[in-house]
Amino acid sequence: MKLFDLSGRVAIVTGGNGGIGLGMAKGMAEAGAAIVVAGRDATKNAAAVKEIQGLGATASAIAVDVLKEDSCHALIAETVKRHGRLDILVNNAGMSIRKQPQDFTAAEWHKVLDSNLTSAFLCSQAAYPAMKKAGAGKVINIGSMMSIFGAAFATAYAASKGGMVQMTKAMATAWAKDNIQVNSILPGWIDTALTRRAREEVQGLHESVLKRTPAGRWGIPDDFAGIAVFLAAPASDFVTGAAITVDGGYSVQG
């Protein structure tokens, strides 16, 4: 179906070498997009590329550290050089430092904000000229339940993910005239490397998530294939500035 067809499109997924990013990359690959996996870890990058190619799709990796502005710019430039275009940017790379607010150092605060929020700003800004020139583009930003809620251990993370939603709205407003749609996805609790560590560090987290999630389970990376395809495809051409929860109902449970 043309509405969900990504044939001929080129997508970058930061943090696409595992977890939610890889789930989205695989979905878009199955819909026909060529994928650029952008992460720091070369071994994880290579494994993800192999997995995506195994679906019959075009995929390659570019090593990137989104904490560095020049690395973000090089990612976009290299993608355009390789493929001659850039249609879809998924700002998914992220991390967390779990501490009470009074225990954060300024360096830790900046690391979380820079990894999760500033990186998305820099990559989007770098991607804009190619998308504007093409007359179309899709930017997909990954937020969190912490874009909506707070948690004692998530001061910097919640600030970054709340900021992601507001940045999405501002960019959507600015770039709508260029036919570039900018949306965010707010995942619930998903079983990945990130939350495996959280479950070790935060007592009772596993059970409390299960209890509060109406779907009665943790999410899995494959749960993000469909929403990624929708937000990357013509089906969402009049959807911009939205924050879409993919959380098994976690955020609507009273």
Residues lying near ligand NDP in the complex (CB under 6 A): 14-15, 17-21, 39-41, 44, 64-67, 92-95, 115-116, 142, 144, 187, 189-190, 192-195
CB of 46 to ligand NDP, least distance (A): 11
Shortest CB 57 distance to ligand NDP, Å: 18
Closest contact distance (angstroms) between CB of 45 and ligand NDP is: 7
Please, are residues 25 and 48 in contact by the beta-carbon 8 Å criterion? yes
Nearest residue (CB) to ligand NDP, 136 versus 205: 205
**Nearest distance in Å: CB 229, ligand NDP:** 17
Identify which of residues 10 and 61 has a Cβ nearer to ligand NDP in the complex. Answer: 61
CA–CA separation, 12 and 59 (whole Å)? 10
128 is catalytic: no
| Annotated catalytic residue, options 121, 128, 157, 250 | 157
* Residues, the chain: 254
Q: In the bound complex, what is the minimum distance in angstroms from residue 206's beta carbon to ligand NDP?
A: 12
What angle in degrees, to the nearest 10, is found between the helix axes of 69-83 and 119-134? 30
Give residue 194's identity as a one-letter amino acid code. L
The phi and psi torsions of 139 (rounded to 5 degrees) equal: -115, 130
Of 94 and 163, the one with the shorter C-beta distance to ligand NDP is 94
Nearer to ligand NDP, 19 or 162 (CB): 19
In the complex, least distance from residue 98 CB atom to ligand NDP, rounded to whole angstroms: 12
Residue closer to ligand NDP (CB basis): 179 or 251 = 251
- 170-180 CB burial, b ≥16 within 10 A, e <16: ebbeebeeeeb
Instruction: Tell me whether residue 30 or residue 69 sits nearer to ligand NDP (CB atom).
Output: 69
Active site (catalytic) residues: 157
